[in-house]
A and B are shown apart, each in its own frame.
Chain A
Amino acid sequence: MRILKGHKVAIFGERDDVAGSAVRNCVLAAGAEVVYETTSCFV
């Protein structure tokens, strides 16, 4: 079953964990549409 393909995705990343941009590049390559993306900086 494809979880990402054709779905709208909101992304919450963190700088010292996984940045939003890395998640975005992954989910786009899997055929999802990114509707929101943010990267937190807890410091």
Chain B
Amino acid sequence: MLVFGLNEPGNLRIMATTFKDGDPSYAGALGGIALGLKSYHIFELKDEIPAEVWAREMAFKELEVEDALIEQICTIMREIRGD
């Protein structure tokens, strides 16, 4: 699986789609190649990470990135995975 730390919705959509269905522009190395890989953003995986590790590595990021953007990122990732 892929785990992203990118926060730009447009980039995330293209990359997650590419790893699942192949490059949507048919331009890159994965043009027409569907690997079927699932993509997650690290913000979605908080429940899986030990609390002390999350506090050290991610709490600052959670504070820094706007709540609305985190929600948008998580929605995009769920949509592309088809959850």
Contacts and interface: CB of A to CB of B under 8 A. Distances in A.
Interface of A: 2-5, 7-14, 17-20, 22-23, 25-27, 29-30, 32, 39-40
A17 B49 contact: no
A13 B44 CA distance: 15
Contacts of B45: 3-4, 26-27, 30
B34 interface: no
Nearest to B46: A26
Contacts of A26: 42, 45, 49, 53-54, 57-58
Given A18-B58, A23-B42, A26-B53, A9 B2 contact: yes
Interface in B45-68: 45, 48-50, 53-54, 56-58, 61, 65
Chain B, interface size: which category?
Answer: 20 to 34
A13 B58 contact: no
A5 to B, nearest CB: 8
8 contacts: A11-B5, A12-B15, A14-B5, A14-B6, A22-B42, A23-B3, A29-B49, A32-B3
B6 A22 contact: no
